[in-house]
A and B are shown apart, each in its own frame.
Chain A
Amino acid sequence: MRLASAGLLAVAAALLASCATPQRDYQPDALAMMKRDFHARGIAGMDRLNQDSVQAACNTYKDEPPQGVAEKLQKEQLATIKWPADGKLLGDWKSGEKIAQNGRGMAWNDKGGVGGSCYNCHQVGPRESSFGTVGPSLYQFAKKRGYGADIQRYAYGKIYNAKAYSLCSQMPRFGHVGALTEQQMKDLTALLMDPASPVNQ
């Protein structure tokens, strides 16, 4: 008797599960439709619709990749980071603030990279109240974590390629796609890490 009811429960559970989710994966349809309907404009070419390894993993696993997959791809992304040849990661925080405020760049009405759009998603300095909450607050970034070389490297690396640290993070890979120059990334690192930066007051 017990076996039969357990079996019925299992069948019921399976039926419920198949009702809750669509019969099939619609991603191929989505991709085909987008390839038909989009067109290149300005610097935004159709190649931007193609998934690289990171995007493919995050799309396949709905931003929750298995640990093994995440670790492998994060390692690969980390290996692509170009660290400054002079070994210096801190630039000028005053320039960094301007770069953080600027939300332009990389769109079809831009000529290339422009700014870092940091305030779109993050609180950064204490004086700017017009900040987003998509990402965590960066206020007192170094004050909270320490000013050492390892934290500097983490900050620079995260700005260059956030996916090297968290595969399906919503943060863009600014250095990786050429949205920011090396100097700009140094200036942003200084904004977060310089003891004199308003971020750390």
Chain B
Amino acid sequence: MRHALVLGLFAATAAAPWPQAAAQTPDPTAAEFDKFREIMEQDNPAELFEVKGEELWKTPRGPKNASLEKCDLGLGPGVVKGAYAQMPRYFADVDRVMDAEARIVHCMITLQGFTYEELAKAPFSSLVRTPEPVSIVTYVAAQSRGMKLASPQNHPKERAAYETGKAIFHYRAGSFDFSCASCHGVDDKRIRTQPLPNFTKPDQAIRAVQGWPGYRMTGGVMHSLQWRLNDCYRQQRFPEPGYTSETLSALLTYVTVNANGHVYRGPGIKR
């Protein structure tokens, strides 16, 4: 199999352990998956994108030939440390709540002169290309490693984003009558062999945030939450949500606020 590590011991298969049917006896297979995941998390290829993202943050680019070092992620211009853990949040200059990637895209437009159209054209990673915002959001997220999530609910629009996000989360539509809650509003279910965390509950909502941005071993690509939400809506048989739109920021506000207080361990690695 292509995915063999030189360490030699593990094949790269699903990273999530199979849920137990009834008994609580430790599952030796799950233990091996946990060990494998621990090793992979220590040398996560996501770190390569953190390095790339930092380079992109600091390098003058775009028609305005400027770096992103004046970008305000909510803690003041250029303050990156801790910013991701406090997003999504309200930004007065755009009078809306933005998640991290939406804010980065905003800064790339206003500070560097890129256009939304060119950034939204092909915003998700493929085998041969990782879009700049993905590397940058990986870098930004890594600067909140080890910090407690604290997406604010101070501004009325932040509170509205939470409630609107909650309503969107529960809205059933599309060819299959699915809402996000169809899969992520119930306990102890799985789709095929992928466990489905219940994002309406604080202890499980952390799993909506933890691990993203994430390096996906299937295909060796770096993905962020903007990709994850887009792909969810595809599988829900909905039309397509706009890249970095308010809908997605509202959804991210809902799940992140539910997870507030939990420690964010930084970019993750996925199957």
Contact = CB atoms under 8 A, between A and B. Distances in A.
Interface of A: 22, 25-27, 29-31, 33-34, 36-41, 44-46, 48-51, 54-55, 58-59, 62-63, 106-109, 119-121, 130-134, 163, 170, 172-173, 177, 179
Interface size class on chain B is 35 or more
16 contacts: A26-B160, A27-B167, A31-B171, A34-B241, A34-B247, A37-B246, A38-B240, A38-B242, A38-B247, A39-B242, A46-B239, A58-B177, A62-B170, A107-B234, A132-B192, A133-B190
A30 B171 contact: yes
B22 interface: no
B13 to A, nearest CB: 12
Contact of B189 (A34, A38, A59, A133): A133
A26 B164 contact: yes
Contact of A120 (B167, B191, B238, B248): B191
Contacts of B177: 54-55, 58, 163, 170, 172-173
Contacts of B126: none
B173 A51 contact: yes
A38 B183 CA distance: 21
Interface in B236-254: 237-242, 245-248, 250
B115 interface: no
A55 B172 CA distance: 6
Contacts of A172: 175-178
Nearest to A44: B239
Given A30-B167, A48-B173, A134-B191, 16 more contacts: A26-B163, A33-B164, A34-B241, A37-B245, A38-B239, A44-B238, A44-B239, A48-B238, A106-B175, A108-B239, A130-B193, A131-B192, A133-B189, A172-B175, A173-B176, A177-B176
B168 interface: yes
A62 B182 CA distance: 11
Contacts of A120: 191-192
B237 A48 contact: yes
B109 interface: no
B103 interface: no
B235 interface: yes
Contacts of A119: 192
Contacts of A37: 241-242, 245-248
Interface in B167-223: 167-168, 170-178, 182-183, 186, 188-193, 196
B166 interface: yes
Given A119-B192, A133-B190, A170-B182, A38 B238 contact: yes
A30 B164 contact: yes
A49 B237 contact: no
A22 B163 contact: yes
A49 B175 contact: no
Contacts of B163: 22, 26, 29
A138 to B, nearest CB: 15
A181 to B, nearest CB: 15
The 8 closest A-B pairs by CB, nearest first: A30-B167, A172-B176, A37-B245, A37-B247, A26-B167, A41-B240, A26-B163, A132-B191
Nearest to A31: B171
B182 to A, nearest CB: 5
Given A26-B166, A41-B239, A134-B183, A58 B192 contact: no
